[in-house]
Amino acid sequence: MVIKSLLGLLVVVFTLFLTSQAGVVSYRKTQCAGTVHKAFNPACCKWFRVLDDLQTNVLHSTCGDASHSALRIVFHDAIGFSKTKKFGDGADGSIIMFGETELEFAANNGIDEIAGDLKRVADTHGKSYGDIIQFAGAVGVANCAGAPRLKFLAGRPNATRPASEGTVPEAFQSVDTILARMHDAGFSPDELVALLASHTMAAADKVDITIPGTPFDSTPDSFDSQFFIETRLKGVAFPGKGHKRGEVASPLVGEMRLQSDFALARDHRTACTWQSFIKNQTLMNQCFSYAMEKLSVLGQNTKHLLDCSEVIPHPESLKTIPHLPAGKTMADVEQACAATPFPKLPTAIGPATIVKPVESCDGDGN
Ligand code: HEM
Ligand SMILES: *[C@@H]1O[C@H](CO)[C@@H](O)[C@H](O)[C@H]1NC(C)=O
Ligand SMILES: *[C@@H]1O[C@H](CO)[C@@H](O)[C@H](O)[C@H]1NC(C)=O
Protein backbone atom coordinates (compact mmCIF):
# COMPACT_ATOMS: atom_id res chain seq x y z
CA MET A 1 0.00 0.00 0.00
CA VAL A 2 2.67 2.48 1.12
CA ILE A 3 4.96 1.31 -1.65
CA LYS A 4 2.15 1.73 -4.17
CA SER A 5 1.41 5.34 -3.20
CA LEU A 6 5.13 6.13 -3.09
CA LEU A 7 5.41 4.79 -6.63
CA GLY A 8 2.39 6.86 -7.61
CA LEU A 9 3.98 9.97 -6.16
CA LEU A 10 7.20 9.28 -8.04
CA VAL A 11 5.27 8.98 -11.29
CA VAL A 12 3.49 12.27 -10.63
CA VAL A 13 6.74 14.07 -9.75
CA PHE A 14 8.46 12.64 -12.79
CA THR A 15 5.60 13.68 -15.10
CA LEU A 16 5.66 17.20 -13.65
CA PHE A 17 9.39 17.30 -14.23
CA LEU A 18 8.97 16.21 -17.84
CA THR A 19 6.23 18.73 -18.58
CA SER A 20 8.20 21.57 -17.01
CA GLN A 21 11.21 20.55 -19.10
CA ALA A 22 9.07 20.96 -22.21
CA GLY A 23 7.93 24.35 -20.99
CA VAL A 24 4.33 23.25 -21.06
CA VAL A 25 1.87 24.36 -18.41
CA SER A 26 -0.67 21.64 -18.75
CA TYR A 27 -3.11 21.87 -15.86
CA ARG A 28 -4.91 25.12 -16.41
CA LYS A 29 -5.70 27.08 -19.57
CA THR A 30 -4.53 30.67 -19.92
CA GLN A 31 -6.82 33.28 -21.46
CA CYS A 32 -5.22 34.44 -24.71
CA ALA A 33 -5.28 38.24 -24.74
CA GLY A 34 -7.32 39.83 -27.51
CA THR A 35 -9.17 36.59 -28.30
CA VAL A 36 -12.01 34.49 -26.88
CA HIS A 37 -9.64 31.51 -26.70
CA LYS A 38 -7.79 29.81 -23.88
CA ALA A 39 -4.61 27.80 -24.35
CA PHE A 40 -2.88 25.14 -22.26
CA ASN A 41 0.41 26.41 -23.62
CA PRO A 42 0.57 30.24 -23.55
CA ALA A 43 3.20 30.08 -26.28
CA CYS A 44 0.41 28.91 -28.61
CA CYS A 45 -1.81 31.94 -27.93
CA LYS A 46 -0.42 33.81 -30.92
CA TRP A 47 -1.78 31.08 -33.16
CA PHE A 48 -5.32 31.71 -31.89
CA ARG A 49 -5.04 35.24 -33.26
CA VAL A 50 -3.90 33.80 -36.59
CA LEU A 51 -6.84 31.37 -36.42
CA ASP A 52 -9.37 34.17 -36.04
CA ASP A 53 -7.87 36.16 -38.92
CA LEU A 54 -7.73 33.10 -41.20
CA GLN A 55 -11.26 31.95 -40.44
CA THR A 56 -12.77 35.42 -40.79
CA ASN A 57 -10.90 36.65 -43.82
CA VAL A 58 -9.75 33.62 -45.79
CA LEU A 59 -11.41 30.29 -44.94
CA HIS A 60 -14.79 31.64 -43.76
CA SER A 61 -15.06 28.67 -41.35
CA THR A 62 -16.57 26.61 -44.17
CA CYS A 63 -15.47 23.58 -46.15
CA GLY A 64 -15.47 25.60 -49.37
CA ASP A 65 -13.03 26.61 -52.05
CA ALA A 66 -10.54 28.35 -49.75
CA SER A 67 -10.34 25.47 -47.25
CA HIS A 68 -9.86 23.09 -50.19
CA SER A 69 -7.06 25.25 -51.59
CA ALA A 70 -5.43 25.47 -48.17
CA LEU A 71 -5.09 21.68 -48.14
CA ARG A 72 -3.83 21.52 -51.72
CA ILE A 73 -1.03 24.02 -51.05
CA VAL A 74 0.16 21.86 -48.13
CA PHE A 75 0.88 19.08 -50.59
CA HIS A 76 2.40 21.25 -53.30
CA ASP A 77 4.75 22.98 -50.85
CA ALA A 78 5.88 19.90 -48.94
CA ILE A 79 6.30 17.45 -51.80
CA GLY A 80 9.13 19.55 -53.23
CA PHE A 81 11.38 17.20 -51.31
CA SER A 82 13.60 14.35 -52.39
CA LYS A 83 15.48 11.67 -50.47
CA THR A 84 17.91 11.18 -53.36
CA LYS A 85 18.33 14.49 -55.16
CA LYS A 86 19.81 17.66 -53.79
CA PHE A 87 16.74 19.77 -54.30
CA GLY A 88 13.86 21.11 -52.28
CA ASP A 89 13.46 21.38 -48.55
CA GLY A 90 9.98 20.03 -47.99
CA ALA A 91 7.35 21.77 -45.88
CA ASP A 92 9.22 25.06 -45.81
CA GLY A 93 6.88 27.60 -47.40
CA SER A 94 9.09 27.92 -50.48
CA ILE A 95 5.96 27.95 -52.65
CA ILE A 96 5.17 31.38 -51.13
CA MET A 97 8.70 32.65 -50.46
CA PHE A 98 9.76 31.79 -54.01
CA GLY A 99 6.32 32.12 -55.52
CA GLU A 100 7.64 33.93 -58.58
CA THR A 101 9.43 30.66 -59.43
CA GLU A 102 7.21 27.88 -58.08
CA LEU A 103 3.82 29.33 -58.96
CA GLU A 104 4.92 29.37 -62.60
CA PHE A 105 5.19 25.55 -62.63
CA ALA A 106 2.26 24.04 -64.56
CA ALA A 107 1.44 21.66 -61.69
CA ASN A 108 0.88 24.66 -59.40
CA ASN A 109 -1.73 26.26 -61.65
CA GLY A 110 -4.42 27.87 -59.49
CA ILE A 111 -2.40 27.95 -56.25
CA ASP A 112 -1.61 31.66 -56.59
CA GLU A 113 -4.77 32.91 -54.89
CA ILE A 114 -4.41 30.95 -51.64
CA ALA A 115 -0.64 31.61 -51.70
CA GLY A 116 -1.32 35.36 -51.79
CA ASP A 117 -3.93 35.17 -49.02
CA LEU A 118 -1.67 33.12 -46.75
CA LYS A 119 1.31 35.38 -47.40
CA ARG A 120 -0.69 38.35 -46.18
CA VAL A 121 -1.82 36.53 -43.01
CA ALA A 122 1.72 35.28 -42.30
CA ASP A 123 3.20 38.77 -42.78
CA THR A 124 0.53 40.36 -40.55
CA HIS A 125 1.27 37.96 -37.71
CA GLY A 126 5.02 37.53 -38.21
CA LYS A 127 4.77 33.82 -39.04
CA SER A 128 6.94 31.85 -41.42
CA TYR A 129 5.41 30.76 -44.70
CA GLY A 130 6.08 27.09 -43.93
CA ASP A 131 4.06 27.40 -40.71
CA ILE A 132 1.17 29.36 -42.21
CA ILE A 133 0.70 26.76 -44.94
CA GLN A 134 0.58 23.86 -42.49
CA PHE A 135 -1.63 25.78 -40.10
CA ALA A 136 -4.15 26.84 -42.75
CA GLY A 137 -4.22 23.30 -44.13
CA ALA A 138 -5.08 21.82 -40.74
CA VAL A 139 -7.72 24.49 -40.11
CA GLY A 140 -9.14 24.06 -43.61
CA VAL A 141 -9.49 20.32 -43.03
CA ALA A 142 -11.13 20.97 -39.65
CA ASN A 143 -13.76 23.10 -41.43
CA CYS A 144 -15.04 19.93 -43.11
CA ALA A 145 -17.50 17.64 -41.31
CA GLY A 146 -16.12 14.16 -40.71
CA ALA A 147 -12.48 15.25 -40.89
CA PRO A 148 -9.81 14.29 -38.39
CA ARG A 149 -8.33 17.00 -36.20
CA LEU A 150 -4.81 17.20 -37.63
CA LYS A 151 -1.75 18.02 -35.57
CA PHE A 152 -0.06 21.38 -35.92
CA LEU A 153 3.58 21.98 -35.11
CA ALA A 154 4.95 25.53 -35.26
CA GLY A 155 8.44 26.91 -35.79
CA ARG A 156 9.53 26.15 -39.35
CA PRO A 157 12.22 28.57 -40.49
CA ASN A 158 11.66 30.41 -43.78
CA ALA A 159 12.75 28.62 -46.95
CA THR A 160 16.10 29.51 -48.42
CA ARG A 161 15.59 28.18 -51.94
CA PRO A 162 12.76 27.21 -54.28
CA ALA A 163 11.73 23.62 -55.02
CA SER A 164 12.57 22.26 -58.47
CA GLU A 165 9.98 21.77 -61.16
CA GLY A 166 8.67 18.22 -61.50
CA THR A 167 8.20 17.31 -57.84
CA VAL A 168 4.39 17.65 -57.84
CA PRO A 169 2.63 14.63 -59.41
CA GLU A 170 0.31 15.38 -62.32
CA ALA A 171 -3.04 13.87 -63.24
CA PHE A 172 -1.91 12.63 -66.68
CA GLN A 173 1.09 10.73 -65.29
CA SER A 174 1.14 6.95 -65.02
CA VAL A 175 0.76 5.14 -61.70
CA ASP A 176 4.40 4.01 -62.02
CA THR A 177 5.61 7.59 -62.38
CA ILE A 178 3.45 8.86 -59.52
CA LEU A 179 4.43 6.04 -57.14
CA ALA A 180 8.12 6.54 -57.98
CA ARG A 181 7.92 10.28 -57.24
CA MET A 182 6.09 9.62 -53.96
CA HIS A 183 8.63 6.94 -53.01
CA ASP A 184 11.44 9.42 -53.64
CA ALA A 185 9.73 11.79 -51.19
CA GLY A 186 9.40 8.99 -48.62
CA PHE A 187 5.80 7.86 -49.13
CA SER A 188 4.55 4.31 -49.72
CA PRO A 189 1.63 3.53 -52.08
CA ASP A 190 -0.60 3.09 -48.99
CA GLU A 191 0.40 6.50 -47.70
CA LEU A 192 -0.36 8.10 -51.06
CA VAL A 193 -3.83 6.55 -51.01
CA ALA A 194 -4.34 7.90 -47.48
CA LEU A 195 -3.26 11.38 -48.59
CA LEU A 196 -5.70 11.19 -51.47
CA ALA A 197 -8.57 11.25 -48.99
CA SER A 198 -7.95 14.97 -49.55
CA HIS A 199 -9.71 14.67 -52.90
CA THR A 200 -12.97 14.22 -50.95
CA MET A 201 -12.86 17.96 -50.21
CA ALA A 202 -11.77 19.09 -53.63
CA ALA A 203 -12.69 20.50 -57.00
CA ALA A 204 -10.79 21.44 -60.14
CA ASP A 205 -10.66 24.96 -61.54
CA LYS A 206 -7.83 24.58 -64.00
CA VAL A 207 -8.10 21.11 -65.51
CA ASP A 208 -10.96 22.40 -67.65
CA ILE A 209 -11.26 26.15 -67.27
CA THR A 210 -14.70 26.16 -68.92
CA ILE A 211 -16.17 24.34 -65.89
CA PRO A 212 -14.45 25.83 -62.81
CA GLY A 213 -15.23 24.34 -59.39
CA THR A 214 -16.02 20.85 -60.70
CA PRO A 215 -15.79 18.49 -57.69
CA PHE A 216 -14.03 15.12 -57.45
CA ASP A 217 -16.96 13.63 -55.51
CA SER A 218 -20.63 14.44 -54.92
CA THR A 219 -19.94 15.88 -51.45
CA PRO A 220 -16.94 18.26 -51.70
CA ASP A 221 -18.10 20.07 -48.56
CA SER A 222 -17.47 17.11 -46.27
CA PHE A 223 -14.64 14.77 -45.40
CA ASP A 224 -16.38 11.49 -46.14
CA SER A 225 -15.39 8.42 -48.16
CA GLN A 226 -17.52 9.25 -51.22
CA PHE A 227 -14.40 10.02 -53.27
CA PHE A 228 -13.14 6.45 -52.77
CA ILE A 229 -16.57 5.08 -53.73
CA GLU A 230 -17.34 7.24 -56.75
CA THR A 231 -13.91 6.80 -58.38
CA ARG A 232 -14.74 3.08 -58.53
CA LEU A 233 -17.92 3.49 -60.55
CA LYS A 234 -17.36 2.04 -64.00
CA GLY A 235 -15.70 4.31 -66.55
CA VAL A 236 -13.03 4.45 -69.20
CA ALA A 237 -9.31 4.89 -68.68
CA PHE A 238 -8.56 7.35 -71.46
CA PRO A 239 -9.71 10.88 -72.09
CA GLY A 240 -12.61 11.01 -74.52
CA LYS A 241 -13.81 13.73 -76.80
CA GLY A 242 -14.29 16.92 -74.83
CA HIS A 243 -12.01 15.83 -72.00
CA LYS A 244 -8.87 17.69 -71.10
CA ARG A 245 -5.42 16.28 -70.46
CA GLY A 246 -5.41 14.40 -67.13
CA GLU A 247 -9.18 14.02 -67.07
CA VAL A 248 -11.32 10.97 -67.89
CA ALA A 249 -15.11 10.71 -68.06
CA SER A 250 -16.96 10.52 -64.75
CA PRO A 251 -20.20 8.55 -64.77
CA LEU A 252 -21.76 11.29 -62.63
CA VAL A 253 -23.01 14.47 -64.25
CA GLY A 254 -21.10 17.50 -62.93
CA GLU A 255 -18.25 15.46 -61.42
CA MET A 256 -14.59 15.62 -62.48
CA ARG A 257 -12.54 12.42 -62.57
CA LEU A 258 -8.76 12.70 -62.74
CA GLN A 259 -7.01 10.09 -64.84
CA SER A 260 -4.58 9.47 -61.93
CA ASP A 261 -7.44 8.88 -59.46
CA PHE A 262 -9.12 6.53 -61.93
CA ALA A 263 -5.90 4.54 -62.32
CA LEU A 264 -4.90 4.52 -58.63
CA ALA A 265 -8.40 3.33 -57.68
CA ARG A 266 -7.84 0.25 -59.87
CA ASP A 267 -4.10 -0.49 -59.70
CA HIS A 268 -3.19 -3.71 -57.86
CA ARG A 269 -0.76 -1.79 -55.65
CA THR A 270 -3.38 0.68 -54.41
CA ALA A 271 -6.91 -0.64 -55.07
CA CYS A 272 -7.31 -2.64 -51.84
CA THR A 273 -6.23 0.18 -49.54
CA TRP A 274 -8.43 2.52 -51.60
CA GLN A 275 -11.43 0.34 -50.96
CA SER A 276 -10.60 -0.34 -47.28
CA PHE A 277 -11.46 3.28 -46.40
CA ILE A 278 -14.94 3.19 -47.85
CA LYS A 279 -16.75 1.74 -44.84
CA ASN A 280 -14.23 2.64 -42.18
CA GLN A 281 -14.05 6.38 -41.59
CA THR A 282 -11.91 5.82 -38.49
CA LEU A 283 -9.32 3.97 -40.52
CA MET A 284 -9.42 6.55 -43.30
CA ASN A 285 -8.99 9.41 -40.85
CA GLN A 286 -6.21 7.68 -38.91
CA CYS A 287 -4.22 6.88 -42.04
CA PHE A 288 -4.78 10.37 -43.46
CA SER A 289 -3.69 12.00 -40.18
CA TYR A 290 -0.57 9.89 -40.00
CA ALA A 291 0.42 10.62 -43.59
CA MET A 292 -0.37 14.33 -43.19
CA GLU A 293 1.77 14.47 -40.07
CA LYS A 294 4.65 13.08 -42.09
CA LEU A 295 3.99 15.48 -44.98
CA SER A 296 3.78 18.50 -42.67
CA VAL A 297 7.30 18.06 -41.31
CA LEU A 298 9.12 16.87 -44.45
CA GLY A 299 12.63 18.29 -44.34
CA GLN A 300 12.07 19.81 -40.88
CA ASN A 301 13.73 18.99 -37.59
CA THR A 302 10.77 18.28 -35.29
CA LYS A 303 12.95 18.86 -32.21
CA HIS A 304 12.80 22.56 -33.03
CA LEU A 305 9.02 22.62 -33.46
CA LEU A 306 6.40 23.44 -30.82
CA ASP A 307 3.17 21.45 -30.65
CA CYS A 308 0.26 23.89 -30.97
CA SER A 309 -2.30 21.31 -32.05
CA GLU A 310 -4.66 22.63 -29.37
CA VAL A 311 -5.34 25.62 -31.64
CA ILE A 312 -6.88 23.48 -34.39
CA PRO A 313 -10.71 23.54 -34.20
CA HIS A 314 -12.75 20.38 -33.59
CA PRO A 315 -14.38 19.24 -36.84
CA GLU A 316 -18.09 18.46 -36.85
CA SER A 317 -19.05 14.84 -37.27
CA LEU A 318 -20.50 13.39 -40.46
CA LYS A 319 -24.25 13.28 -40.90
CA THR A 320 -24.27 10.84 -43.84
CA ILE A 321 -23.28 7.22 -44.33
CA PRO A 322 -21.22 5.80 -47.24
CA HIS A 323 -23.58 5.31 -50.19
CA LEU A 324 -23.85 4.92 -53.93
CA PRO A 325 -25.06 8.16 -55.50
CA ALA A 326 -28.75 8.16 -56.47
CA GLY A 327 -29.22 6.37 -59.78
CA LYS A 328 -26.27 3.98 -59.28
CA THR A 329 -26.33 0.36 -58.07
CA MET A 330 -23.74 -2.24 -57.12
CA ALA A 331 -23.77 -3.31 -60.79
CA ASP A 332 -22.14 0.03 -61.66
CA VAL A 333 -19.16 -0.68 -59.41
CA GLU A 334 -15.88 -1.93 -60.83
CA GLN A 335 -14.10 -4.72 -58.96
CA ALA A 336 -10.37 -4.06 -58.63
CA CYS A 337 -9.08 -5.55 -55.38
CA ALA A 338 -8.40 -9.25 -55.90
CA ALA A 339 -8.40 -10.06 -52.18
CA THR A 340 -11.69 -8.48 -51.09
CA PRO A 341 -14.97 -7.69 -52.85
CA PHE A 342 -16.12 -4.08 -52.99
CA PRO A 343 -18.22 -3.38 -49.86
CA LYS A 344 -22.01 -3.51 -50.21
CA LEU A 345 -23.51 -0.03 -50.08
CA PRO A 346 -27.02 1.39 -50.09
CA THR A 347 -28.09 3.71 -52.92
CA ALA A 348 -29.16 7.25 -52.04
CA ILE A 349 -32.85 7.83 -52.77
CA GLY A 350 -33.92 10.36 -55.39
CA PRO A 351 -33.38 11.31 -59.03
CA ALA A 352 -30.00 10.55 -60.66
CA THR A 353 -27.29 12.56 -58.91
CA ILE A 354 -26.16 15.81 -60.49
CA VAL A 355 -23.07 17.18 -58.79
CA LYS A 356 -23.11 20.94 -58.23
CA PRO A 357 -19.97 23.04 -58.69
CA VAL A 358 -18.09 24.52 -55.73
CA GLU A 359 -18.61 28.28 -55.59
CA SER A 360 -15.39 30.23 -55.75
CA CYS A 361 -16.42 32.92 -53.24
CA ASP A 362 -17.73 30.78 -50.38
CA GLY A 363 -18.77 32.71 -47.33
CA ASP A 364 -19.11 35.96 -49.25
CA GLY A 365 -22.78 35.30 -49.97
CA ASN A 366 -22.33 34.88 -53.69
C1 HEM B 1 -1.41 11.58 -57.37
C2 HEM B 1 -1.25 12.72 -56.79
C3 HEM B 1 -2.12 13.91 -57.07
C4 HEM B 1 -2.51 14.44 -58.27
C5 HEM B 1 -2.14 13.96 -59.66
C6 HEM B 1 -3.38 15.55 -57.98
C7 HEM B 1 -3.96 16.37 -58.92
C8 HEM B 1 -4.87 17.38 -58.65
C9 HEM B 1 -5.49 18.21 -59.64
C10 HEM B 1 -5.24 18.15 -61.14
C11 HEM B 1 -6.34 19.05 -59.00
C12 HEM B 1 -7.22 20.12 -59.63
C13 HEM B 1 -6.55 21.47 -59.61
C14 HEM B 1 -7.38 22.48 -60.38
O15 HEM B 1 -7.60 22.28 -61.58
O16 HEM B 1 -7.85 23.48 -59.78
C17 HEM B 1 -6.25 18.74 -57.59
C18 HEM B 1 -6.97 19.37 -56.62
C19 HEM B 1 -6.79 19.16 -55.27
N20 HEM B 1 -5.83 18.34 -54.70
FE21 HEM B 1 -4.73 16.97 -55.65
N22 HEM B 1 -3.50 15.68 -56.61
C23 HEM B 1 -2.75 14.70 -56.03
C24 HEM B 1 -2.56 14.51 -54.67
C25 HEM B 1 -3.06 15.34 -53.70
C26 HEM B 1 -2.69 15.28 -52.32
C27 HEM B 1 -1.69 14.29 -51.73
C28 HEM B 1 -3.38 16.27 -51.68
C29 HEM B 1 -3.37 16.67 -50.22
C30 HEM B 1 -2.78 16.01 -49.26
C31 HEM B 1 -4.21 16.90 -52.66
C32 HEM B 1 -5.13 17.88 -52.40
C33 HEM B 1 -5.94 18.47 -53.34
C34 HEM B 1 -7.05 19.35 -53.02
C35 HEM B 1 -7.56 19.67 -51.63
C36 HEM B 1 -7.56 19.80 -54.24
C37 HEM B 1 -8.74 20.75 -54.45
C38 HEM B 1 -8.32 22.18 -54.56
C39 HEM B 1 -9.54 23.08 -54.71
O40 HEM B 1 -10.67 22.60 -54.73
O41 HEM B 1 -9.33 24.31 -54.81
N42 HEM B 1 -3.97 16.33 -53.88
N43 HEM B 1 -5.35 17.73 -57.40
C1 LIG C 1 9.98 35.04 -43.28
O2 LIG C 1 10.14 35.89 -44.39
C3 LIG C 1 9.27 37.02 -44.40
C4 LIG C 1 9.43 37.74 -45.73
O5 LIG C 1 10.78 38.02 -45.96
C6 LIG C 1 9.58 37.89 -43.20
O7 LIG C 1 8.70 38.99 -43.15
C8 LIG C 1 9.42 37.05 -41.92
O9 LIG C 1 9.80 37.81 -40.81
C10 LIG C 1 10.24 35.79 -41.99
N11 LIG C 1 9.84 34.94 -40.88
C12 LIG C 1 10.68 34.19 -40.20
C13 LIG C 1 10.10 33.40 -39.08
O14 LIG C 1 11.86 34.10 -40.47
C1 LIG D 1 -11.74 0.17 -38.73
O2 LIG D 1 -10.38 0.51 -38.58
C3 LIG D 1 -9.93 0.43 -37.26
C4 LIG D 1 -8.50 0.92 -37.24
O5 LIG D 1 -8.46 2.26 -37.36
C6 LIG D 1 -10.03 -0.97 -36.74
O7 LIG D 1 -9.62 -1.01 -35.39
C8 LIG D 1 -11.46 -1.45 -36.88
O9 LIG D 1 -11.52 -2.81 -36.53
C10 LIG D 1 -11.97 -1.25 -38.28
N11 LIG D 1 -13.40 -1.55 -38.31
C12 LIG D 1 -13.94 -2.41 -39.14
C13 LIG D 1 -15.42 -2.57 -39.04
O14 LIG D 1 -13.29 -3.05 -39.96
Question: For domain 175-281+320-332, is the CATH number 1.10.420.10?
Answer: yes
Give me the chain's average pLDDT, please: 92
280 lines ligand 3 (CB under 6 A): yes
C-beta of residue 47 within 8 angstroms of C-beta of residue 37? no
247-248 vs 214-215, strand pairing mode: unpaired
**pLDDT tens for each residue of 91-112:** 999 999 999 999 999 999 999 9
Mutation test residue for ligand 1: of 60, 68, 75, 182, the one with most atoms within 8 Å of CB: 75
**Three-class HEC string of 200-249:** HHCEECCCCCCCCCEECCCCCCECCCHHHHHCCECCCCCCCCCCCCCEEC
**pLDDT tens for each residue of 180-225:** 999 999 999 999 999 999 999 999 999 999 999 999 999 999 999 9
C-beta of residue 102 within 8 angstroms of C-beta of residue 163? yes
- Give the least confident one: 27-31, 136-140, 207-211: 27-31
Number of H helices, E strands in the chain: 13, 8
Considering the entire predicted model, what is its pTM?
A: 0.92
Tell the residue nearest (CA) to atom 7 of ligand 3.
283
- Around ligand 2, the residues with Cβ closer than 6 Å are 123, 126, 128, 157-158
Query: In the chain, which residues fall in CATH 1.10.420.10?
Result: 175-281+320-332
Where do the DSSP E strands lie in the chain?
A: 30-31, 38-39, 153-154, 203-204, 214-215, 247-248, 257-258, 306-307
Active site residues: 76
Cα end-to-end distance, the chain, whole Å = 68
Query: In the chain, which residues fall in CATH 1.10.520.10?
Result: 42-167+295-311
Say what the pLDDT of residue 15 is: 42
Task: Give CA–CA dist 204/216, Å, rounded.
Answer: 8
Q: Is the pLDDT of residue 273 over 70?
A: yes
CA 314-319-326 angle, to 5 degrees, is: 140
Where do the DSSP E strands lie in 33-143?
A: 38-39
**pLDDT tens for each residue of 227-262:** 999 999 999 888 888 899 999 999 999 999 999 999
Atom of ligand 1 nearest to the CA of 258: 10
283 lines ligand 3 (CB under 6 A): yes
- Split at pLDDT 50, 70, 90, the class of 81 is very high
38-39 vs 153-154, strand pairing mode: unpaired
CATH C-level class of 42-167+295-311:
mainly alpha
- pLDDT above 90 covers a percentage of the chain that reads 86
| Backbone angle region of 213, left / alpha / beta, with phi > 0 → left and psi within -120 to 50 → alpha | left
Average pLDDT (319-345) is 97
